[in-house]
Chain A
Amino acid sequence: MHERILIAGFGGQGILFAGKFLVYANLLAGKEVSWLPSYGPEMRGGTANCSVILSDTPIGSPIVDIPDILVVMNLPSLDKFEGATAPGGRIFVDSALITRRVARADVTSVYIPATQLADANGLSGLANMVMLGKVIADCGLCRPEDLPAAMGKVVPERKRALFDKNIQALQVGAAFFG
């Protein structure tokens, strides 16, 4: 396994959080992992992204220039990273926020109206985890048994309600067939 994943969207959508969760779940599974955020002014409302690498072997560069998996939650991110995606890679699009289709023919495109699904399930603000649920399910990125433990690493115990909602969001995403 050597997956180069780029998650991108607006600041405030939980882009970095989703990446962190994914990395923790794979750390628990004994994988080599790295997480690198974009940083600076973009975290205050501009575009945000993070590079995640999951691998069976030690990781060299932590930068994902050519993603095998691209997860986008706004149009500027799709515009920016679609061309960089590896041939044969996958692009996951929040189709509630991005109206255009992926132009590339040499990648697999998956459309999830994640923001809408989150709102409809009382999970407003958790579209990031809906997206991630779908990504994990489609790409087999984590062992299901690691998910609650990984959530425990990123959501503090005292925020139990948030913990449950995040797990639920993952499930909503995983169950979506579009």
Chain B
Amino acid sequence: MTEKVLMKGNEAIAEAAIQAGCRFFFGYPITPQTEVAAYMARRMPKVDGLYLQAESEIAAINMVIGASAAGRRAMTSSSSPGIALKSEGLSYLAGCDLPAVIINIQRGGPGLGGIQPSQADYFHATRGAGHGDFHMIVLAPNSVQEMVDLTHAAFDLADRYRMTAMILADGILGQMMEPVSLSKPDAPDLPPKDWATTGTGGARPHNIINSLFLQPEELERTNFKRYDLYARIETHEARHEAFMLDDAEIVVAAYGACARIAKNAILAARSRGIRAGLLRPVTLWPFPKKAFAAAADTARAFVTVEMSMGQMIEDVELAIRCRRPVALCKRVGGMVPTPEEILSKIEEIAGGVR
């Protein structure tokens, strides 16, 4: 185990990407993710990599498309309003079946919103990242260590499935410092990038990276095929963390920073005799449906804790087929729920279901 160092979440993501072999980063400043770009600007030249500041978030993601088309590991990062601008590119990445890693350190919205933490891009990340039918793998770290581990995972998943993997975090995780172990990931066994556009060398037919299919039959076929892949990913890649869940009557569902705050509330609830537990999705897409369905067999009620007006709650309700009541504990606009607020919600529900 390597020595633990203190790092900001944003910097940890950047270093983890470099460890994962990413040598092409295309950025544009926006609070609260700017440390990713700043770190890359410092580090990339030392590892023969490239930090390039794009003229816009749109240009940045299209540069990622170019580097990815060339068969290289590439990344861009932004925060909510900038991610919205990248939506066009996210759709093209999906349509072209290109791997890429995208970081969203969320802030409050809509519009210019604010710069404080938020989770209001859940729908964007899991449902509407751009036009057309597609998904991204969405990973939701809840510690600086997971910023590292899931960034490593994101590059491997992106390459394995030839699709975008997004790290969906928030201003708290991006800005906070925690001890982190930067052990290098094992080199995974991944398929060769024989689809990359790197020149035919006169030795093979030309590779085409393209998302245009003017024949509806063909476009339907490519969508069906892509969704067969998504089904396999849903089977194999859903991740979650369970905390005091075994005997939990009240299941708190929360991801990212909210899950950490919820842990405080759950411990407090337990000390008051309420059997509360946490089910934390680590992948938001694929959503850990099975874990939620299983929890619904024993739990009496659920409460989702979100820094949004209630977005993940829909996935919880779908996953448990509305078999149990699901309450929402929310703060928005950059406000962060406190353990006390979550505790009182748990108590309210516990009183109701007794």
Contacts and interface: CB of A to CB of B under 8 A. Distances in A.
Query: Are A and B subunits of one complex?
Result: yes
A5 B44 CA distance: 35
A95 interface: no
Do most interface residues of chain A lie in helix, strand or loop, or is the interface mixed? mixed
A34 B31 CA distance: 21
B115 interface: yes
Contacts of A62: 172, 176, 178, 257, 260
A23 B177 contact: yes
A65 interface: yes
Contacts, number: 62
A40 B261 contact: no
B21 interface: no
B242 interface: no
Which of the four size classes fits the interface of chain A? 10 to 19
Contact of A33 (B115, B172, B179, B260): B179
Given A35-B177, A61-B260, A61-B339, A40 B6 contact: no
Nearest to B171: A39
Contact of A153 (B6, B32, B260, B264): B6
B338 A65 contact: yes
B213 to A, nearest CB: 45
Interface string A11-38: 0000000001001100100001111110
A63 interface: yes
B4 interface: yes
B19 interface: no
A172 to B, nearest CB: 25
A33 B179 CA distance: 7
A40 B31 contact: yes
Contacts of B4: 27
B327 interface: no
Nearest to B32: A39
Nearest to A33: B179
A37 B262 CA distance: 20
B256 to A, nearest CB: 12
Given A39-B115, A40-B31, A61 B176 contact: no
Nearest to B178: A34
Contacts of A140: none
Nearest to A52: B177
Given A24-B6, A153-B6, A37 B261 contact: no
B176 A35 contact: yes
5 contacts: A32-B179, A33-B179, A37-B176, A39-B32, A39-B171
Interface of A: 20, 23-24, 27, 32-37, 39-40, 59-63, 65, 153
